[in-house]
């Protein structure tokens, strides 16, 4: 989760060059302030989600797990 003091560009770089490059298969980056989320996958794809009216899936990494973004609304 992004906090107000975090720089989004640094977080995105840490995810792609750190976690994904080192084998993490699925990362969710959420920005509750702007109600945006990004889904990073091991294949290098990144999906941007606008609005917190959706549910993020654990996909094949965490089958059956989901995060309802509405729970992150202020």
State how far the alpha carbon of 50 is from the alpha carbons of 15, 33, 61, 73, in Å. Answer: 19, 12, 23, 13
Domain count, the chain: 1
Domain limits at 35? 8-72
Least Cα distance to 72 among 3, 10, 22, 6 occurs for 3
Classify residue 44: in a domain, yes or no: yes
**Alpha-carbon gap, residue 46 to 23, rounded angstroms:** 15
pTM for this one? 0.89
**Alpha-carbon gap, residue 68 to 21, rounded angstroms:** 27
Classify residue 3: in a domain, yes or no: no
The model's pLDDT over 65-74, given as tens digits with 9 standing for 90+, comes to: 999 999 998 6
Classify residue 32: in a domain, yes or no: yes
Classify residue 2: in a domain, yes or no: no
The model's pLDDT over 4-55, given as tens digits with 9 standing for 90+, comes to: 677 888 999 999 999 999 999 999 999 988 999 999 999 999 999 999 999 9
Classify residue 61: in a domain, yes or no: yes
Classify residue 56: in a domain, yes or no: yes
């Amino acid at each position: 989760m992004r906090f107000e003091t975090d720089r989004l560009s640094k977080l995105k770089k840490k995810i792609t060059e750190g976690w994904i490059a080192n084998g993490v298969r699925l990362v969710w980056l959420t920005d509750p302030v702007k109600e945006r989320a990004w889904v990073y996958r091991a294949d290098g794809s990144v999906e941007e989600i606008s609005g917190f009216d959706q549910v993020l899936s654990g996909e094949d990494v965490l089958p059956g797990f989901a995060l309802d973004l509405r729970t992150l609304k202020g």
